[in-house]
Structure 1
Amino acid sequence: MMSVFVPEVERRRASGATLRLVFASGEALAPTTARALRRAVKGVELHNLYGPTEAAVDVTYHAVTDEDSDVMPIGAPVWNTAVYVLDSRLNPTPVGVAGELYLAGTQLARGYVSRPDLTADRFVAHPFATNGQRLYRTGDVVRWNRDGELEYVGRSDFQVKLRGLRIELGEIESALLAQRSISQAVVVVRNDQLVGYVVPSGASVETGAVLGALRSRLAEYMVPSTLIVLEEFPLGASGKLDRKALPDPAFEVTEYREPTNDIERTVAEVFAQVLGVERVGLDDDFFELGGNSLIATQLVSRLGVAMDTRIAVRELFDTSTVADLAARLGTLVATGSRPPLVPQQRPQHIPLSLAQQRMWFLNKFDVESAANNIPIAVRLSGLLDRRAMQIAVADVVARQESLRTVFPETDGTAH
């Protein structure tokens, strides 16, 4: 509503002289939107409020200032309310470290009507109280800043796992909102690719420059494969963002230029194999096609085998198009790849690995040290068949050679 209100004020050249206080709640407040309001309505006091329905109405507040240029805090707790930022083991997180937000206080709800299952999941025992109080798990990921206020990161249920890597979509959205040209941003996963949707704060958004800024701030696997610029976001009946109504992206490669030699053709074919793309041309970029640092290791490994050479992952980051990478590899072809792993003759005395040498040395240095002992307690219920358990443990030891390995010595040398 604020992003709609501000352009209207500017269009009508209305100063909004009677408007003194503005409270933003219900959605994350973008710094660009807050800046636009304070610029359009001189002297207005803007407060960013936060609070879920289970602790209605608001539980934290922050008075917006000129310093809120990159990150918009949701603030400190209101009177009679306590907030906790806890990790997965319900331990408080230090300043700057993200954790889940838990709430306590007078205005906390008692639970959900006729939903004991949902109540038990969200209203949990207070780990720091002795009088039976409970905390509410908000599902929101936040962190403390050095001013003692909370910064909103995103939703814990918006955490995704993409190509084996866990990604906080809210963290990417925060990085997008830090760009002055963007007033609203949302990131989703579509077709196994990260897609960013943005609404410009001004006339336009230079997507290339924005993606470049994200690469300097985020890990490569967190940078969206594409950015889609919309005039406005689709909203549901409640007036909030309708993620399902966001348009599907069209992942397109650049204008196709056919590889001209064997090295270029090999690079293009391996690009297509690891990225699942039907056709790859000379000017196609590995990362723009959806590649990331995890897939990069697969790519250089396959290229190394195909070209009988050793290729560092750094080569791909420096030259990520087919043409550039093929030119770089032209001097490396047939220089020798890593020796293949093949069965060897087992010697009578197997030498210790570096880790085994360390264990042997520490044991010799202090025979009473428990440095390599890991105590584990297992709680069992019911009657225990001790013989069955002994046989099971013995079976595991028989199958796993490392569990029955010892380090005898021959002439002072362990093996």
Structure 2
Amino acid sequence: RPDAIALRCNAQTLTYGELNAQANRRARQLITHGVGPDVLVGLAAERGFDMLVGLLAILKAGGAYVPLDPTYPQDRLAYMMQDSGIRLLLTQAALVDQLPVPEGVQTLLLDADVSAFTDSDPHVVMDAANLAYVIYTSGSTGNPKGTLLPHHNVLRLFEATESWFSFGAQDVWSLFHSYAFDFSVWEIFGALLHGGELLIVPYDISRSPQQFHELLCDAGVTVLNQTPSAFKQLMHEACTDSRSNALRYVVFGGEALDVKSLRPWFERFGDAAPQLINMYGITETTVHVTYRPLSVADLEQDASSPIGEPIADLSWYLLDGDLNPVPKGCIGELYVGRAGLARGYLNRGDLTALRFIPDPFGE
């Protein structure tokens, strides 16, 4: 469906055919600069079509994108560029002078002309085990850590959750989060892998619950992904606004959820349409680990943030300090295994060995 809308931003649209052609030209340019499987490429762009074209171009060239959100602090950006070892940076002319680009890193502009390159699909020899992206964690326990995620992890995330959601070409997703936050992986590829429409939410609108709610309603968004803290502000707008929305799902992630805080939403909209779902996970486990539909009945339960059941292709255990299962009702630490695990941490073999351990219950 090359004429179907792939991206929408600020009243402008880009079809799948246009998006593919632009990404192909950019990918061919990247290939001439040595980008191929497992080559890391920095991507610093403001929210908009260029950002998605650049991201897809890196993947089409076989490389892995390293998202460098220009709204991040300069010292954090400088650290990520240095630590990742990127030799190539895709950015925009307006950002070049603002970015702390290390010496030796070549810069290519997303807003420069690439019409000299053909727009046919490049043929790159690679497979699902190659890296798709390297997202840096928050760094709450020291310096940020680059987490290595292959293509396979993203593909299996949607395959393993298909029976719960049945996403399709009729869905409109909002890209609300920074592309340097792994929730964005779910948003971007949830839309594009299913032929749906991705609404890119401008940064200023993402910071205004009133404007964001108006945009959701006007654009007919069907799949909304939110951290609980962001949704709390949006919920106030939705519950006091008379206009209707087209939402099918609201998916929570990124933070613990206080279910009782959802009472105003349930009183206004019920719990069936849209369906509210809590999904727990971290960058190292490819966005989501669990699935838990929420209902009005949960308001009377004591569980503060019920995380539900694991995604089918994952394993999980609640273990004590000696890696023994804890008895029912006792506190332990959650260990996640199998298909969703990252390759490890970039340049941190010590930390990878500490966090990614052999499964004591597997082969």
TM-score by length of 1: 0.30
Larger radius of gyration: 1
Q: TM-score, normalised by structure 2?
A: 0.34
